[in-house]
Amino acid sequence: MSEQLPSAPLVLEKELLEGFVAGYFKDGEQYLSLLENHGSPLWVLEPSVLKAKALSFSQAFNAYFDKTSYYFAMKSNNRPEVSATLLESGFGLDVSSGIELRIALNLNARDIIFSGPGKTDEELNLALQHRDRVTLLLDSFGELDRLSALVSGLEPASPIRVGIRLTNNPKGLWRKFGIVPDMLPEFWEKIAALPHIRFAGLQFHSSWNLTPERQVEFITLLGRTLARMPRDFNQSIEFIDIGGGYWPEEGEWLHSPEMPEGSSPQENSIPWDRVRPHYRIPGTPIETFAKAISHAVQTHLFPFVNCRICFEPGRWICHSAMHLLFSVTDKKSHDDKENHDLVITDAGTNVIGWERFETDYFPVLNLSRPGLLEKPCHILGSLCTPHDVFGYAYFGEGIETGDCLMIPCQGAYTYSLGQNFIKGLPGFVKL
């Protein structure tokens, strides 16, 4: 779930970490009451956090652009209540499958962008049936041909709005997305000849953006491409969608400076009764992204187009709005140690769908015995596999069977990836 990181990790500062933890302990009784009333394990959504993040994101870019649109990337968290909350905040929805499109339609979303490669004919037909609400981002020449064949078999109707996805990395696995900019003239020529398909804009996307550098780089390249395009093409552009991939400002927290391909936190060189240092790759304030991207757009795109600028944030919006609550079911000690150094919980990492906590560091909070001292202990799930790790330490005054634990900020690329592997999935509640 991660790319090569752009800079060497820093040691995670004690003050930063303790301030983060203290903020959640402050509301600990509120979280404990949710577990008491709804059972364990439990996903907790904070809609107020979603709304605050949506407002912060849009205000940052609205300070520089007169015409903008914002779309929540549903793949980052497909819980319908998340999307519903963001619709209330004035966002549209960015969907990547027919499943997500149906959810968006059922939520009565009026402004939907349908992206993603390899759309099936069934998915294309669903978009056609709701052309008044959906803009289809075409991913390839083959997709355009299949859409054209589907449209030609329909009764005359209003044309479907489409955009063209451009790949910003024509090498390796990322070339599965979109077409290379050099093929844009040919793609435009084909669309222009189709009466029931109306070209409306362009989209590109880069992921894991800890800084705006890659976005600025591609905007510069896109400006050179538009300079070579016919005037009628540029005049027909109603939107340019810069995608998402914005990393939360706190950056990425890791167990080791060599992670994700480095050594394990279980190295024998670290005594069992010591907590390893934690590391972070610094993030960038969203205001810095807005300033850099707006300057690039003004310099390289606006000489050729007059259009809305669109954004598709997912992780940045929902990362800190959902938390995982679960409970300790068993304790173990090894080598006759007096202090227990391993606990088993009632949740397994199937609830997040991948081995996130073997590499990424998120503090485990003991809500039942709060404390700002982090203590060593393997926090493991109850799945019948050793790759079932929630953490290697916890914050608290101790840990006992029945204690309620919390891992905050699990709103992005966890809930959507949960799987029924060995055990079931947690309950869900809005705070």
Q: Which pairs with CB-CB distance under 8 Å and at least 24 residues apart come from 20-28?
A: 20/250, 20/363, 20/408, 21/363, 21/365, 21/372, 21/395, 22/372, 24/323, 24/365, 24/406, 24/408, 25/365, 25/367, 25/370, 25/372, 25/395, 28/365, 28/367, 28/370, 28/406
The predicted pLDDT at position 270 comes to: 52
* Token pair for 62: 């609205």
Cα gap 310→349, rounded to integer Å: 35
Higher pLDDT, 159 or 98: 98
**What one-letter code names the amino acid at 197?**
I
Q: Do the bridges between strand 160-165 and strand 197-203 make them parallel or antiparallel, or are there none, so unpaired? A: parallel
SS3 49: helix
According to DSSP, the residues that pair with 132 across neighbouring strands are: none
- Helix axis angle, 28-38 to 14-26, nearest 10°: 50
The per-residue pLDDT for range 332-368, each reduced to its tens digit, is: 876 555 555 899 999 999 999 999 999 999 999 999 9
Secondary element (H or E) of residue 230 = none
Residue 153: is its pLDDT beyond 90? Answer: no
Residue 159: is its pLDDT beyond 50? Answer: yes
The predicted pLDDT at position 337 comes to: 56
The per-residue pLDDT for range 208-238, each reduced to its tens digit, is: 899 999 999 999 999 999 999 999 999 999 9
Q: Mean pLDDT across the stretch 111-131?
A: 96
Length of the chain counted residue by residue: 431
Cα gap 12→250, rounded to integer Å: 10
| Closest among 359, 395, 360, 353 to 377, alpha carbons compared | 395
- Cα–chain-centroid distance for residue 275? 29
Cα gap 303→226, rounded to integer Å: 9
The predicted pLDDT at position 340 comes to: 59
Residue 4: is its pLDDT beyond 80? Answer: no
CB 206, CB 213: distance < 8 Å: no
Alpha-helical (H) ranges within 155-277 are 184-192, 213-228, 231-236
The predicted pLDDT at position 419 comes to: 94
- Cα–chain-centroid distance for residue 401? 34
The predicted pLDDT at position 155 comes to: 64
The predicted pLDDT at position 150 comes to: 92
- Cα–chain-centroid distance for residue 372? 29
Residue 272 banded pLDDT, cuts 50, 70, 90: low
SS3 114: strand
Secondary element (H or E) of residue 343 = strand 342-345
Alpha-helical (H) ranges within 27-140 are 28-38, 47-62, 80-88, 98-106, 121-129
Residue 268: is its pLDDT beyond 50? Answer: no
The predicted pLDDT at position 365 comes to: 98
| Closest among 300, 309, 310, 308 to 227, alpha carbons compared | 300
Cα gap 264→258, rounded to integer Å: 9
Cα gap 140→117, rounded to integer Å: 8
Q: Which CATH superfamily is domain 47-319 in?
A: Alanine racemase (3.20.20.10)
163-177, 187-201, 308-322: segment of lowest average pLDDT: 163-177
Whole-structure pTM value = 0.93
Sheet holding 279-281, edge to edge: 10-11, 279-281, 252-254
- Cα–chain-centroid distance for residue 217? 22
* Residue 123 phi, psi dihedral angles, 5° rounding: -70, -40
Q: Mean pLDDT across the stretch 364-386?
A: 96
The predicted pLDDT at position 166 comes to: 96
Q: How far is CA 44 from CA 48, 314, 344, 402, in A?
A: 12, 18, 21, 19
